[in-house]
Amino acid sequence: MPTPEAPRIFPTLRYANAAAMIDWLATAFGFLVHAKYMDGADVGHAELALGSSMIMIGSSRADAFGAIVGEPGHNGGKAIYLAVEDVDVVHARAKAAGADIVQQLTDRAYGSREFICRDPEGNVWSVGTYWPRAGEPAA
Q: What is the pLDDT of residues 55-96, one digit of tens each?
A: 999 998 888 878 777 778 766 667 898 999 999 999 999 999
**Is the distance from CB of 3 to CB of 52 less than 8 angstroms?**
no
Closest CA to 81 of 11, 16, 136: 11
Cβ-based neighbours of 137, under 8 Å, separated by 6 or more: none
The answer, yes or no, to whether residue 116 has pLDDT greater than 80, is yes
Kindly state the average pLDDT of the residues 120-126: 89
Residue 138's pLDDT band (cuts 50, 70, 90): low
Q: Are strands 42-50 and 53-59 parallel, antiparallel or unpaired?
A: antiparallel
Q: What is the pLDDT of residue 119?
A: 92
What pLDDT digit, counting tens, does each position of 21-47 carry?
Answer: 999 999 999 999 999 999 899 999 999
Residue 134 · residue 4 · CB < 8 Å: yes
Beta-carbon contacts of 114 under 8 Å, excluding residues fewer than 6 positions away, are: 87, 103, 105, 106, 108, 126, 127, 128, 129, 130
Q: Yes or no: say if 59 and 4 are a contact pair by the CB < 8 Å rule.
A: no
